[in-house]
Amino acid sequence: MSTTVEQQDNSNQNRRITWEGCSVLLDINDGDRLVFSRLTAGSIVKIGNKNYPLRPLIGCPFGSLFQVESGENGPSLARVISTAEDNNTEDKKECDLKEESRDNRALIDNNTAQTLTGEDIEGMRRQGASGNDIVEALIANSATFENKTSFSQEKYRLKKQKKYAPKVLLRRPFARSICDTYFKKYPARIGFLRVDTLSLILSFSNVTANSDVLVVDMIGGMITGAVAERLGGTGYVCNTYRGDSPYSIEIVRIFNFNDEINKRIVRLSLGELSGNGDLKENEMISSNQESLTFEESTEDKIASKIYKAAKPGEKASQDSINSWKENGFSSLIIAAPDVDAWSIVKEVLPFLSFSAPFVIYHQYLQPLATCMHNLQVEKMAIGLQITEPWLREYQVLPSRTHPHMQMSAFGGYILSGTKICNEKSTTQ
């Protein structure tokens, strides 16, 4: 088919089918739990109190849905095949919703509503009942289910489903899903950068194939990874740092970057970039960045060694360094929560080409305001702007459409602008 041809064209960055050793995001029960994993022969995911091998997920398309099954060889994940039938039930549900006439005035919630006991359920399990069978049995034995509004019926069903028939959705780890997941689970590690803010950063900085992007990424590699994804194995993302040790870019490992892309992720100390630094090699870095991102077992670690791609974050080559000094970078992105914005900009802006855009991210407004003011006073840039995106999600359902009751109220500030060539710099 023509599709497979195109998939191969853009190599494993855009692969739509998982492979052994690939990094995945597991979405358990509709976003209730998000887990980054690597698919290997021995890797597992823990749901409830059971361990499920991930091997059945290898070779499946991203987007596949899995449900738990208890087979002879213990609990396992099996792919759910969606059929036309599913779609019909969905349609039916919506018709029902439109003609709602019941209400819950007579509903009394007490613990006697459910006649199935925990033991009954265990019994069913032992006899090989599936999670869905149990959910149906629970519904059949609920005294109040019939009188619930169809909305609360649906809610009841979902709740039971999550407990007795959990579902696992296989997702592609892309900048979007990675940023989303970190924002939900460990926001501090990415400096509270929300995905819409990240998307603005990538636009304002004009990142595209063949760009040479200078970054100061002190948020775990979130920026570095997102930029490398957009470069697709062309150009460079150069992570610069003060002092001797580069900043961690552990998040980059979650992306499924091939060698071509990893080679485009390099590091360079500010000292070396400005040409006055000590050139002593610092080689001990980068290897101890394993840590907390992956829920890996020991076997996984051994396995992932076998599949190890070219390491991202090697030192930039002398050729690249020379070229950047001569031509300048085409974009600059700074995300350094703990360093004063102005003091970094002052140091790195000289390496940006004239007319090139830059973006500074911060979770506080004041450092950006000061930085913007100084850039204006020093006439270093134009088009300066501080923006803050606002993102709201909606529930869209027949007759029940409204914004989500809970929203993230803050996703960070960005200062963007374009470097200009003022008199001083033209004459140099």
Partner 1 sequence: MLPTDPTKKLSFKRHITDGDLVIVYEKHDNMKAVKVSEKSVLENRFGVFKHSDWIGKPFGCKVSSHKGGFVYLLAPTPELWTLVLSHRTQILYIADISFVIMYLELIPGCVVLESGTGSGSLTTSLARSIAPTGHVYTFDFHEQRAMAAREDFERTGLSDLVSVGVRDIQGEGFPKDLIGRADAVFLDLPQPWLAIPSAGQMLKEDGVLCSFSPCIEQVQRSSETLASNFTDIRTFEVLLRTYEVREAKMEQCQTEEGTPGARPNKRKQRVSEASHWEQDKSDSHMVMARPSGEAKGHTGYLTFARLKCVA
Task: Report the site for partner 1 in 49-68 (rule: CB under 8 A).
Answer: 61-65
Rounded least distance, CB 140 to partner 1, Å: 27
Rounded least distance, CB 209 to partner 1, Å: 5
Site mask for partner 1 (CB under 8 A), range 84-123, x = bound: ---x--xx--x-----------------------------
Rounded least distance, CB 155 to partner 1, Å: 18
The beta-strand segments (E) located in 10-64 are 23-28, 33-38, 44-47, 50-53
And the tokens for 246?
């580069």
Counting contacts by CB under 8 A, is residue 167 touching partner 1? no
Q: CB atoms < 10 A from the CB of 125, how many?
A: 15
Counting contacts by CB under 8 A, is residue 140 touching partner 1? no
| Binding test (CB under 8 A) with partner 1, winner from 3, 276, 318, 406 | 3
| Binding test (CB under 8 A) with partner 1, winner from 175, 268, 334, 349 | 175
Site mask for partner 1 (CB under 8 A), range 378-407, x = bound: ----xxxxxxxxxxxxx-x-x--x-x----
Counting contacts by CB under 8 A, is residue 206 touching partner 1? yes
Counting contacts by CB under 8 A, is residue 230 touching partner 1? yes
In Å, how far are 149, 160, 330, 343, 399 from 350, measured between CA atoms?
A: 65, 59, 12, 13, 56
Cα Rg of the chain, angstroms: 26
DSSP string, 216-282: EE-STTHHHHHHHHHHTTSSEEEEEESSSSPPP-GGGGGS---HHHHTTEEEEEHHHHHT-S-----
Q: Is-contact 76 65, C-beta < 8 A? A: no
Rounded least distance, CB 341 to partner 1, Å: 12
Counting contacts by CB under 8 A, is residue 289 touching partner 1? no
Query: Among 198, 210, 92, 199, which Cα is nearest to 153's?
Result: 92
- Which residue stretch of 74-82, 102-110, 142-150, 155-163 sits at the interface with partner 1 (rule: CB under 8 A)? 74-82
Q: Is-contact 100 150, C-beta < 8 A? A: yes
Residues 6 or more apart whose Cβ sits within 8 Å of residue 367: 340, 341, 342
Counting contacts by CB under 8 A, is residue 365 touching partner 1? yes
Q: Which of residues 315-334 bind partner 1 (CB under 8 A)?
A: 326-328, 330
